[in-house]
Structure 1
Amino acid sequence: MSRPRSQPWYSGAHRALEPDVGPVDEHVICECGHCDREQSYRLPWPVIGGDIAYCEYHVARYREHNPEIWERVRRLDGVDDPGIYATVGNRFLTLNEIPKEIAVDGEKMRRVALGVDGWALFDSAEPDDDGLVHFVTVDRDLEPRECVEIDRSSAGDFVSWFREHEGVHDLDPDARKALYGGESDAE
């Protein structure tokens, strides 16, 4: 098969960005895994094309992680500005925003992960005398959301469970090292 003048096999390869973006009228769940909030805005999927509808918090994460695509979307004619749908609230957008250590009810806690819900997961820096490790999720105001006590021997299993069932955007490098072995990439 011959093509005149070496044209790309896909004629739309160099077209301007024209995704199906904009506010979502349907009341369905955000398309980010493990998120149970309603969709608010549809944006182009940065990896393979197409588009995906996110809740307001995940629209804000999208803006943080895809600034070039975000600016291209904002310049599209006839499309509502996605910025009004990018609501962070009291949630964290990136792991770097989360302090490495905090105190909850006087107990020293260390950062473990940023959950898909935007809350930060922390664990006890030192287990209790009875061998229990406290895990707590906190919001951007460092207010506790949920807390659980786990036997020290099951702490790694809990983090694995949390990743699978609650969803994690990012693991702290030290937590990754503890779960998978090897050297930490931090600092």
Structure 2
Amino acid sequence: MSPLKPSWKQPSHPEIQQVIASNADDFTTKSLSKVSLPPFALFAKLEFPPCEVADEATYATVQMDKDKHLTLNSDLLYINHSCEPSLHFDMRNMKIVAGPKGLRPGDELTFFYPSTEWSMAQPFDCFCGTPTCKKRITGAKDMPSHLLEGLWLNDHIHQLLEEQALLRDTQQHSASLSESAGHGLLRRGITSRELSGEMSGDTVAEA
């Protein structure tokens, strides 16, 4: 898929964001902070317009609910992924906030894609270079739980993870019951009492 050509006037957020396009023909565009913010302070609001609800998930959308996706239609699109992000996309409150370390001018603007995305439209290998890099980013659905521990995730991702865990537990329980039932049938033979007719009711009293 070719890079998305912006349909919006650029720059869209010149006061807070500097977009750097390393190569117009690939996906190496990134953006840097132009502001200093304390942890979890507001960086930008996600407003309609320019945002629009998307018909389907693409590499250029952000998941905003369990089954809804958002087209940003702004330079906020150029906020890349990192396993140790500088920003959080808070989709319940429709805003972007600084991460736990805050922001300084010159910091690269990044967020953790599985914090919003259940299943990535285009999974990719991560080269963020952070100590906690997850290596392969496919969305929260396919990530082992230990890779998501301690990370900020949106409400809809927490809900989908809980539903996934419940479904897995139900399937495992059903499989365990089936296995136990199968083993029980294999182990159970005809008892001596049944052979003698005491349990089957076929004992005939003599006249």
Between structures 1 and 2, the one with greater strand share: 1
Higher alpha-carbon Rg: 2
Q: Which has the higher contact order (CA 8 A, sep 6+)?
A: 2
Question: What TM-score do you get using the length of structure 1 for normalisation?
Answer: 0.22
Question: What TM-score do you get using the length of structure 2 for normalisation?
Answer: 0.21
